Amino acid sequence: MQIIWRESADTATYEDARVGRVFNHRRPERFPLAVVKATCQEDIVAAVKLAAEKNCRVAVRSGGHSWAAWSVRDNSILIDLGNYKTMEVDANNKMARASPSMTGRELNSVLIKDHQLMFPGGHCPDVGLGGFLLQGGMGWNCRNWGWACERVQAVDVVTAKGELLHCNSEQNQELYWAARGAGPGFPGVVTKFHLRLNPYPKNGFRSSGYIYPIEMYREALSWVISISPDFDNDTEIAAISHYPDGSDEMRLFILFVTMKDEAEDAEKALRAAQDTRPAGCVEEWFCKEDSLEEQYDKQGHANPEKHRYCADNAYIQNDADVPAVLEEAFTTLPHKKSFALWFAMNPCSRRKLPDMALSMHSDHYFALYTVWEDAHDDPRCQAWVRNVMKGVERHSVGAYLGDSDFQVRKTKFWADDNARRLMEIRRKLDPQGRICGYLDEGDLSGTRGLDNAHQWKI
């Protein structure tokens, strides 16, 4: 087991271990005591025990895609799982077992090629399963296939005391319940996810796209919101405002990605958008051949590496005037690489969720992904996000952990009873706060956890 201690390693080696795998290049001023590069479950057990011996905390990194770099914490031993990659597939039972640093692309490239199966992981190809699944996982076609964590049959966990446990609906239920929605406050280290898989469509994906001038924002967004609840069940729907490559004109891009075995069924599904779209697109396509691999490439392009990011998000109330609430966000982007997203969640948002920590959602998921390159733009871009969210948050029911930064904004992440139960489980299973937990302002939340309350009501 390789351990890089801050006090003895050369600066470049330590710095690479500290933040080299952190996606967001807006790097934090937080410094772990050591980084353990784990390659197996035994290394994780040993690292947790080492932290107990040194009386310090444990931080975890799987894919390194947390926007706020939750894995980089003071007074901690950071267990980096980047070199612990394993996956096994049981194709007959449509199941896979995978380590948390496996990414959506790594998992799906094997599943699709060898088994015609897929797992609805993160939209961006390089998001790690670890952080993604613990917070719920808004994966492919979430509005119909549900949350990715609903496909977690079991987890193997190293507890805060250093024991390795198998957790499912029959044994170690509290950890299993928390592993589906606690996010970075999970009181243990997941070493393996046991996942239920989906068939991958025989002929790949198909997509339709409609690109409108931003002046048509209200009309086009109202249209897509109105058709989404009754739209085909195998179709993911999103609206994005952005600057297309090389353009100075902001656009509203509405995308339907459908996942059907047969082309005729895809065409039938997508027809409901084609026949009702408002006139005035500057560009459009209908039922074009597409694939998960092509979608990954586009998502990777929209979220480039080595850039600075500030994300925030909200679940907008079901009865809100959504185009009015999101107008500032969608029409005043502060940088040409930034984008704003509305993601259809109905009908998933109207279903009763299984009994698990994850419990917050609405019909309308809204997120800001503010992207820039130069540190000089940090104050301007971050202030823009804060200001926009001030207007939006009063029309929200809460937010998704995965695109949040608890250092910046307080809101609700769970239903009240789920939040209470989660904080109790954390205190029971990790009374000393060995695992770092939620990174709030000053990193003080410890075993108390998050308040789960709207900022303006505190």
**What are 157's strand-pairing partners?**
165, 190
- C-beta closer to ligand FAD: residue 148 or 287: 148
- Among 66, 208, 235, 411, the residue binding ligand FAD under the rule CB under 6 A is 66
Residue with tokens 């035994």: 42
- Tell me the three state secondary structure of residue 162: coil
Distance in angstroms (rounded) separating the CA atoms of residues 151 and 136: 10
Using the minimum distance from each CB to ligand FAD, give the nearer residue, 134 or 167: 134
Counting contacts by CB under 6 A, is residue 23 touching ligand FAD? yes
Residues 364 and 43: their CA atoms lie apart, in Å, by 41
Among 38, 57, 62, 241, the residue binding ligand FAD under the rule CB under 6 A is 62
Per CB under 6 A, 131 contacts ligand FAD: yes
Stretch that binds ligand FAD, among 8-16, 132-140, 326-334, 413-421 (CB under 6 A): 132-140
Q: How far apart are CA 411 and CA 394, in angstroms?
A: 10
> Residue 265 Cβ, how far from ligand FAD at the closest point, in Å?
25
**Is residue 64 within the footprint of ligand FAD (CB under 6 A)?**
yes
Give the binding-site size for ligand FAD (rule: CB under 6 A): 32
What backbone phi and psi angles, to 5 degrees, belong to 7? Answer: -75, -20
**Which residues are registered as beta bridge partners of 87?**
98
Q: How far is the CB of 82 from ligand FAD (least distance, A)?
A: 9
Q: Rounded to an integer, what distance in angstroms lies between the CA atom of residue 143 and that of residue 121?
A: 14
Binding of residue 32 to ligand FAD (CB under 6 A): no
Q: Is 186 in the site for ligand FAD (CB under 6 A)?
A: yes
Parallel, antiparallel, or unpaired: how do β-strands 2-5 and 396-398 relate? unpaired
- CA distances in angstroms from 12 to 1, 15, 147, 421, listed in the order given: 20, 5, 39, 43
Between 62 and 217, whose beta carbon lies closer to ligand FAD? Answer: 62
Residue 100 interacts with ligand FAD (CB under 6 A): yes or no:
yes
Residue partners of 298: CB distance under 8 A and separation at least 6 = none
Cα gap 371→357, rounded to integer Å: 31
Judged by CB under 6 A, the chain residues 313 through 352 that form the site for ligand FAD are none
- In the bound state with ligand FAD, the residue whose beta carbon lies nearer, of 265 and 293, is 293
Which position among 32, 120, 128, 449 is part of the footprint of ligand FAD (CB under 6 A)?
A: 128
CA dist 363 and 361 (Å) reads: 7
Residues that bind ligand FAD (CB under 6 A): 23, 60-67, 70-71, 81, 100, 122-124, 127-128, 130-132, 134-135, 137-138, 184, 186, 189-190, 303, 402-403
